[in-house]
Structure 1
Amino acid sequence: MTAVAVLNHRQLAMLRAVAGGRAEITCSCEPDLYVDGLPCCDQSSARDLVQTGLLRAAGTGPTGQRVTAALTDLGRAALR
Structure 2
Amino acid sequence: MSIARAAAPVSEGLNHRAISMLRAVVAGRAQISCSSEPDLFIDDVPCCDQYTAHVLAHAGLIEPVTKGVVGQLVPARLTGAGEAALTPRSVAAA
Between the two proteins, the alignment pairs up a number of residues equal to: 77
What letter is aligned with 2:17? R
Residue 20, structure 1, aligned to residue 41, structure 2: no
- Structure 2 length-normalised TM: 0.80
Residue 50, structure 1, aligned to residue 62, structure 2: no
Tell me the percent identity: 52
1:7 to 14, 19, 26: 14
Gaps of 5+ in 2: 1-10, 88-94
Q: Which has the higher helix share?
A: 1
Give the distance between the partners of 2:41 and 2:59, measured in 1 at CA.
18
Gaps of 5+ in 1: none
Q: After the TM superposition, list the runs of 4 or more consecutive aligned residues in structure 1 that deviate by more than 2 angstroms.
A: none
RMSD over aligned Cα, in angstroms? 0.7
Determine helix, strand or coil for the equivalent of 1:16: helix
Determine helix, strand or coil for the equivalent of 2:32: strand
